[in-house]
Amino acid sequence: MRSRILIIEDDQSVSGMVSDYLASEEFQTDVFDSGEAAVRAFSGRQDYALVLIDLMLPDMSGMDVLRYIRRSSTVPIIIITAKDNDTDKSLGLNLGADDYVVKPFSLIELTARIKANIRRTTRYDSHPGEDMIRIRDLEINVTKYTVRVSGREPDLTRTEFEILCLLASHPGQAFSKERLYELIWKEPYFGNENVLNTHINRLRAKLKAASGRDTVYIKTLWGIGYKMEEE
Amino acid sequence: MAVWLGSLSLVLLAVYVRERIINRNLNKEVLYIRERLAALTEASGTRENGYVLVPSGNVGVRELSAQLNHLLETFYRQKAEYQCARQAMEQMLTNISHDLRTPLTVLKGYSELLLKEGKRGTSLPEFRDMAKKIDRKADELVRTIDEYFTMSKIESGDWKLVMRRVNVTQLCHELILDYYDVLEEAQYEVAIQVDDMPVYAYSDEEAVKRILKNMIDNAVRHGGSGKYLGIRLKYLADGIRIEVEDHGAGITAKDEEQIFSRNYTTARKGTGSGLGLTIARNLARQMGADIEVYSEPGIRTVFTLIL
């Protein structure tokens, strides 16, 4: 099913363009140029996969729309801001936005952010209440802590699973060893390279054994970072 | 005779005393004017606009202070006018930057759409080239506007440094990783000598990021012909050195003096604002750091941030 995106932007040249591009990326879009109409549309249907909203709207502030949507929904929200200062960004994020882009933004980047945000929150109807991440032939059940690769289930430790889950929910994004270590072990990295390497190597070996192929899922970047390969 | 001499002495003494008093008062007034002017000079950067007020019996001193006050008045008026003009300039720059953002978003977006269509093979190769050129120029425009905006922010003192302990090892790793896709696709030889052990520097994280990003951007944009990018972190007794090396065309000794000055660029006309390094050095110096350049044209060029 094609994901439906709610776009709230008063400049029609921008909304039209974003909408065209997203259509070419197999998204459905509903475009509104005022907060009032968007809020009404949002209350009307429950199937939006994501909301993209410009903070500067003619009738009501984008912040108000954001607040309204957050009162009843956990749908991912990306804000668009034309301001250079950080106040808008942090205010938006504090009000519950998940991500932001600053004008002028790249459509390629925006699309990547949209996909990542949708992927992070997608719930599949067949298993209500279960978070799944699907990437290439990996199926990661975030709720049950299980992974299926080409139909088989490798037996991963908790840490290995968390590493895989983190990288898979941000495909293509580079993580430095420092950041990865801090996010998984929740403590600062002091060159604990062996610990990280060992876990990554074991994880790779288990995925390889399960898939029976030499597919590179996790790529090492110049020896200083890792990323999940997108395809 | 004695009486006469006595009264003459008395008169002379009286005259002497009177003159002493006048002289002392004059000295006091001159001293006061000097101190007042010193205080006003000190406060010339603030909003305080004071004058020199000397209730003197001396016509010369009165006229002197009147002239001084006249001069001060002119100075204050011009100061106010300058402040106004500067604020108007800043406001205008903010407006320009803001008003250009929306059309630029559209320009950039459609150039990407064109490129995407081009990659799917639905358009002629020359159209693809055109789309690529438009896309590049759009990127350049975005960068230029951003640089002018940053420069004005720094010059107006709006860029407030937040000095903290910053893990520069991690910062180097993460910055260079941002370039992974670009550098791999262009088949660069990338040499990273940044030890895993964290090294900390007391500095402003945003500023360090901005400076290093500028150094890497330059190495790719101006030194790209060498297809080499080196980044090294050295922890020495007298400080931390972060070096970015390229093997491109390099910088001649003549240019070396000028690359840090405003709007100077070695690149062809219209390929950049020439503000990048000015911003970088400006930020570095505000943090008490500095940037050095070493170049053997055609062999290697190294920019060093010394923290």
pLDDT, one tens digit per residue, over A80-115 is: 887 666 666 777 777 788 888 888 888 988 998 898
pLDDT value at A124 more than 50: no
CA B105 to chain centre: 28
Give the residue from chain B lying closest to A107, CA to CA: B109
pLDDT at B267: 59
pLDDT, one tens digit per residue, over A52-71 is 998 877 767 788 888 889 88
Which range among A193-197, A202-206, B160-164 shows the weakest confidence by mean pLDDT?
Answer: A193-197
CB A139 within 8 A of CB A147: yes
Give the residue from chain B lying closest to A179, CA to CA: B170
Interface residues of A toward B, Cβ cutoff 8 Å, are 11, 13-14, 17-18, 20-21, 24, 82-84, 103-108, 174-179, 188-191, 193, 221-225, 227
- Please list the residues that pair with B267 across neighbouring strands: none
DSSP helix/strand/coil, A29: strand
- The answer to whether the Cβ–Cβ distance between A222 and B142 falls below 8 Å is no
Sheet order of strands, A28-32 included: A28-32, A4-8, A48-54, A77-81, A99-102
Q: Which residue, among B300, B303, B301, has the nearest Cα to B291 in the 3D structure?
A: B303
Inter-helix orientation angle B205-221/B168-177, to 10° = 40
Q: How far is B235 from chain A (nearest CA, A)?
A: 15
pLDDT at A211: 84
Place of tokens 């899922």: A217
* Angle at A48 (CA atoms; ends B116, A57), nearest 5 degrees: 80
CATH 3.40.50.620 correct for B163-306: no
- The answer to whether the Cβ–Cβ distance between A21 and B113 falls below 8 Å is yes
Confidence of residue A130 (pLDDT cuts 50, 70, 90): low
Give the residue from chain B lying closest to A23, CA to CA: B113
- Fold for domain A132-228? Arc Repressor Mutant, subunit A (1.10.10)
d(CA B51, CA B72) in angstroms, rounded, equals 7
- Fold for domain B83-155? Helix Hairpins (1.10.287)
- Please list the residues that pair with A8 across neighbouring strands: A32, A53
pLDDT at A126: 42
d(CA B307, CA B305) in angstroms, rounded, equals 6
Report the relative pairing of strands A225-228 and B163-167 from DSSP bridges.
unpaired
Mean pLDDT (whole number) for A110-132 = 69
Q: Find chain B residues with C-beta within 8 A of A56's C-beta.
A: none
In this structure, the number of other CB atoms found within 10 A of the CB of residue B306 comes to 17
* Angle at A45 (CA atoms; ends A39, A51), nearest 5 degrees: 55
Q: How far is B132 from chain A (nearest CA, A)?
A: 14
Q: Find chain B residues with C-beta within 8 A of A21's C-beta.
A: 109, 112-113, 116
**Which residues lie closer than 8 Å to A45 by C-beta, 6 or more apart?**
none
Interface test with A, best of B98, B110, B196 (most A CBs within 10 A): B196
- The answer to whether the Cβ–Cβ distance between A178 and B169 falls below 8 Å is yes
Q: Find chain B residues with C-beta within 8 A of A103's C-beta.
A: 101-102, 104-105
Confidence of residue A123 (pLDDT cuts 50, 70, 90): very low
- The answer to whether the Cβ–Cβ distance between B170 and A13 falls below 8 Å is no
| Per-residue DSSP letter, A123 | B
DSSP track, B33-101: HHHHHHHHHHGGGSS---------S-HHHHHHHHHHHHHHHHHHHHHHHHHHHHHHHHHHHHHHHHHHH
Q: How far is A71 from chain B (nearest CA, A)?
A: 30
Mean pLDDT (whole number) for A178-205 = 89
CB B56 within 8 A of CB B24: no
Architecture (CATH level 2) of domain A4-121: 3-Layer(aba) Sandwich (3.40)
CB B33 within 8 A of CB B68: yes
- In chain B, where the domains are located: 2-81, 83-155, 163-306
Handedness of CA A56, A58, A63, A67 (dihedral sign): negative
d(CA B283, CA B175) in angstroms, rounded, equals 18
- The answer to whether the Cβ–Cβ distance between A176 and B192 falls below 8 Å is no
d(CA A47, CA A4) in angstroms, rounded, equals 7
Q: ipTM of this model?
A: 0.73
Confidence of residue A129 (pLDDT cuts 50, 70, 90): low
Give the residue from chain A lying closest to B177, CA to CA: A174
Q: Which of the residues in chain B have pLDDT under 50?
A: 269-270
- In chain A, where the domains are located: 4-121, 132-228
* Angle at B20 (CA atoms; ends B14, B24), nearest 5 degrees: 150
d(CA A90, CA A85) in angstroms, rounded, equals 10
B98 touches chain A (CB under 8 A): yes
| Range list of H helices, A57-122 | 62-72, 86-94, 107-121
Report the relative pairing of strands A48-54 and A4-8 from DSSP bridges.
parallel
Which range among A145-149, A217-221, B31-35, B259-263 shows the weakest confidence by mean pLDDT?
Answer: B259-263
